[in-house]
Amino acid sequence: MLSQEDRYSISIERIRNGELIRSVVRDLGFSRSTLSRRLQGVQSQRKTAQFQLKLSLEQEEVITNWICQEEVTGRPAGYVAIRCFTTVILRQSGINTSLGRNWVERFL
C-alpha cells in the first residue's frame, strides 16, 4: 500500500502529464486545495516541521517498530521504557537534550 506522500507524488505526476486536477481529486479523494498547493511546491506540514523535531522520521520509525515488537513478544513497552529507548537513540545521534514531560503521550 502506498503512503499518502507517494499518492500525492503520483497525483502530481498525473497532472503534469495533462490530466485535470478535478479528475485526480475525484479518483484519489484528495483535497483540491492541498493538491494545488503541492503543485506549487509547498511541502507537507510534517516535512516543514521536521527541522523542529528532536527525532527524524527514520528514528520515529525505529521507535515505533520497537514498541510493536515488544508487544508481539508479550512485553508491552511502558512509558519509562519508551522514554529510555528514545533517549538512547537521541544520544547516539548526538542530541543531548531531554524529552519533555509529556513527550511519550504525544508520541503514542
Domain ranges of the chain: 4-49, 53-107
Whether this prediction's pTM lies above 0.85 is answered by: no
Q: What percent of the chain has pLDDT over 90?
A: 19
Helix axis angle for 32-39 and 4-16, nearest 10°, is 70
CB 47 within 8 A of CB 73: no
**Residue 48: its pLDDT value, please?**
56
**Residue 81: its pLDDT value, please?**
92
Q: Quote the longest CA-to-CA distance of the chain.
A: 53
Locate all alpha helices (DSSP H) within the chain, ordered by sequence.
Answer: 4-16, 21-28, 32-39, 45-48, 57-72, 79-92, 103-107
* pLDDT < 50: residue spans in the chain: 51-52
> Would you say how long the chain is, in residues?
108
